[in-house]
Structure 1
Amino acid sequence: MTSSVPSLNRIRVGSAPDSWGVWFPDDPQQVPWQRFLDEVADAGYEWIELGPYGYLPSDPVRLAEETARRGLKVSAGTVFTGLHHGPSVWEKTWAHVSDIAALTRAMGAEHLVVIPSFWRDDKTGEVLEDRTLTPEQWRDLTAQTERLGHEVRERYGLKIVVHPHADTHVDSEENVGRFLDATDPALVSLCLDTGHYAYCGGDSVKLIETYGERIGYLHLKQVDPDILAEVVAHEVPFGPAVGRGVMCEPPSGIPALEPVLTAAQALDVELFAIVEQDMYPCPPDKPFPIARRTRRFLRSCGA
C-alpha cells in the first residue's frame, strides 16, 4: 500500500537554536550548545542554523567536528541589521555581518538570514523609534539591503534572505510587498517565517503564490490565534508575547503548515524549511519532546 501523502522532495527540513529557547550568544537561562546539538540530532533533524553568533563554537574547524559527528549540517547564519538608518551604519553593519558570513561559508552553507532591527525592545517593550518608516528611510532600507546582498555574494558567495519579523518595519503583507517591489530579485530574496507573517496578519500561501520567485528560504512556525488576539488587542511587545506562548507547537496553531509546504514544493526549487518555535525563556527539558513531535508531524506532511 502506498502512502497518500505527497513527497515534498524539494523541501529540506531542519531546526534551529531558537527552538531550544536560544536568543542570545550567552545566557544562563539557555541550554548549553552541546545539549542543543545532541538533542536536535536525536529529534531527527539533519540541518541546523548557527543561531546567535557565539552560541555555537565560532571556530569553523571545531564546529565542523561537532556537527559532523552528530550527522548535522548548517543551512544558514543569521545577522541583525538596521539598514533603514542609511549609509552611516554600513561599517558597523558589515563588521557584524562579515564574521558570521565567514563562518556560514566555512560550514558549507549558502544562506544568510537577515533580520531587520526592532522598533521596540523585544525584552523591555521600550519604543526605540517610530514603527512607520519615512519614504527616505524606505529608500535607505532597500538600497542598503541591495548593497548587503551584493557584498555578501561577492565576498562570501552567500545569498541573503530577509526575514519579515514582528516588531520590525518589514512585517505586514503591505510592508513585505513594498519591500520586495523595491528590491532587486537578483540580490534580495525572502526568508518567509510562517509564524511571524501570521502574527502580522499575512497569508503565507498567498505570499508564496504571489512572490514565488522571491521565496529563498522558509522558517516553519505557528501562532496561537487566541493568544495572538490578546497580544494585538493590548499591543504586547514581541518578547513578552513569546513568554505568553504566542508561538505554539504544530499543528495546534496557524497557519496550517501542509498548504504552505505544498505551495513551496510547487515552486520547483530546492528550499530549506527550518523549524523555529520561539520559546525564550523556557525550561531546559521542554524543547526536545516538542522537537521530536514536530519532526514526526512534518514527516506526516511528506517533509
Structure 2
Amino acid sequence: MTKPSPLSRIRIGSAPDSWGVWFADDPRQVPWQRFLDEVAGAGYTWIELGPYGYLPTDPAVLAEETGRRGLKVSAGTVFTGLHHGPAVWEKTWAHVADNAALAQAMGAEHLVVIPSFWRDDKTGAALEDRDLTAGQWRDLTGLTERLGREVRERYGLRIVVHPHADTHVDSEENVARFLDATDPELVSLCLDTGHYAYCGGDSVKLIETYGERIGYLHLKQVDPEILAGVVADEVPFGPAVARGVMCEPPSGVPALEPVLAAAQALGVELFAIVEQDMYPCDPDRPYPIAVRTRRFLRSCGA
C-alpha cells in the first residue's frame, strides 16, 4: 500500500460542533469539560471556541484548561447579518468584539464569520427573501470589508467568511459573487467542504480557482442520499442535520483526499478543522466518531 504524501502545511483540529454543540448553554449538549477531555483524547491539538460562552470566557481559565490538555485555539466564530446595512453595525460589533478578544487572548489568528440565515433554522419559516437585492449585496460586501479591517486593526485577527446552507453566501454563484466583490487583503474564505457540497459546490474547483482567497478549511461530508431528500422536501438546515445529512468521513461527499491535496498545493499553512454537525446527539456518540475521523485523516497524510 502506497503511503500518502505528508500534508505538511495542513494543521488538523476539531470543534465543539463535532460534539453536537450549537449553543452556549443547552442541556442536550456535553459539558465543556467533557468536550475538552475527549477532543484531546481523540488526538486533536487544535480546537475552535464554538458558540461564545460554551467554553470559559475568562482567558486565564480557558488557557489553563486547554493547556493542561495540550490543546490550542485556532479561531472563534461569529454570526452576522451585515446585508441589513449600517443599522446593524453596532449590535454586530458588540458580538464580534467579545469573540475576537477571547480568540486573540488564546493566541488564535482567525475569526470565522457566518452570514445570518434567511429562514428559521428549526421551523423553516422564511425570515426574509432567499435572494439579496443589489443594495443588500453592496451592504454585505462593504460591511464585511469594514469588519475585516477593524478586526485586524483592533485584534490582529483575519476574518474568514464561511459559506453556509440557508444563508445568502451558499452556492458556487453566490460565493464567486461575494469573493469578486470583496478585497482579498481584508476578506478571506473559510471553505466548509460539507456546506459547499450541500449547496452544490465543488470544493476542489473552488480551491483551484480562488486559491489566494482560501484562508481556512472546515472538513465535513454530506450523505448524498439524505441530501437529495432534504433538497426535494425543502428541509431547513437544522432538521436536515437531525436527519443525518452531515455524515462521518469517508462515507460521504466530497472526497476529502483531493480537497486536502489541493489545499496543500496552495503552498501556505492552513487550518483544517473537522466539523461534523450532529446537534442534537447522544453524548456518547461523538468521541468514537472523532477517533475514527482522526485516524482517517492520518491515512490521508494529515
TM over 0.5: yes
Opposite residue 238 of structure 1, the aligned amino acid is F
Q: Which residue of 1 is the match for residue 131 of structure 2? A: 132
Opposite residue 128 of structure 1, the aligned amino acid is L
Q: Which residue of 1 is the match for residue 73 of structure 2? A: 74
Q: Which residue of 1 is the match for residue 92 of structure 2? A: 93
Tell me, what secondary structure is at the counterpart of 2:215? Answer: strand
Q: Which residue of 2 is the match for residue 179 of structure 1? A: 178
Q: Which residue of 2 is the match for residue 224 of structure 1? A: 223
Cα distance per residue 1:227-255 (max 9 Å; x no partner): 00000011000000000000000000000
What CA distance in whole angstroms lies between the structure 1 residues aligned with 2:59 and 2:41? 22
Identity %: 86
Q: After TM superposition, give the deviation of residue 3 of structure 1 in Å.
A: 5.5
Q: After TM superposition, give the deviation of residue 124 of structure 1 in Å.
A: 2.0
Tell me, what secondary structure is at the counterpart of 1:187? Answer: coil
Q: Which residue of 1 is the match for residue 298 of structure 2? A: 299
Q: TM (normalized to structure 2)?
A: 0.99
Q: After TM superposition, give the deviation of residue 125 of structure 1 in Å.
A: 1.6
Q: Which residue of 2 is the match for residue 118 of structure 1? A: 117
Cα distance per residue 1:5-28 (max 9 Å; x no partner): 100000000000000000000000
What CA distance in whole angstroms lies between the structure 2 residues aligned with 1:124 and 1:215? 33
Q: Which runs of 5+ in 1 are unaligned?
A: none
After TM superposition, list the pairs within 5 Å mapping 1:261-280 onto structure 2: 261-280=260-279
What CA distance in whole angstroms lies between the structure 1 residues aligned with 2:28 and 2:262? 37
What CA distance in whole angstroms lies between the structure 2 residues aligned with 1:107 and 1:98? 14
Tell me, what secondary structure is at the counterpart of 2:57? Answer: coil
* Superposed structure 1 runs of 4+ greater than 4 Å apart: none
Q: Which residue of 2 is the match for residue 249 of structure 1? A: 248
What CA distance in whole angstroms lies between the structure 2 residues aligned with 1:273 and 1:153? 21
What CA distance in whole angstroms lies between the structure 2 residues aligned with 1:198 and 1:95? 32
User: Does structure 1 residue 62 correspond to structure 2 residue 61?
Assistant: yes
Tell me, what secondary structure is at the counterpart of 1:195? Answer: helix
Q: After TM superposition, give the deviation of residue 123 of structure 1 in Å.
A: 1.8
Q: Which runs of 5+ in 2 are unaligned?
A: none
Q: After TM superposition, give the deviation of residue 73 of structure 1 in Å.
A: 0.2
What CA distance in whole angstroms lies between the structure 2 residues aligned with 1:100 and 1:193? 20
What CA distance in whole angstroms lies between the structure 2 residues aligned with 1:276 and 1:93? 24
Tell me, what secondary structure is at the counterpart of 2:298? Answer: helix
Q: Which residue of 1 is the match for residue 26 of structure 2? A: 27
What CA distance in whole angstroms lies between the structure 2 residues aligned with 1:87 and 1:98? 17
Q: TM (normalized to structure 1)?
A: 0.99
After TM superposition, list the pairs within 5 Å mapping 1:142-291 onto structure 2: 142-291=141-290
Q: After TM superposition, give the deviation of residue 121 of structure 1 in Å.
A: 1.2
What CA distance in whole angstroms lies between the structure 1 residues aligned with 2:41 and 2:90? 40
What CA distance in whole angstroms lies between the structure 2 residues aligned with 1:142 and 1:44? 38
Alignment RMSD: 0.7
Q: After TM superposition, give the deviation of residue 286 of structure 1 in Å.
A: 0.2
What CA distance in whole angstroms lies between the structure 1 residues aligned with 2:34 and 2:123? 28
What CA distance in whole angstroms lies between the structure 2 residues aligned with 1:187 and 1:147? 8
Tell me, what secondary structure is at the counterpart of 1:160? Answer: strand
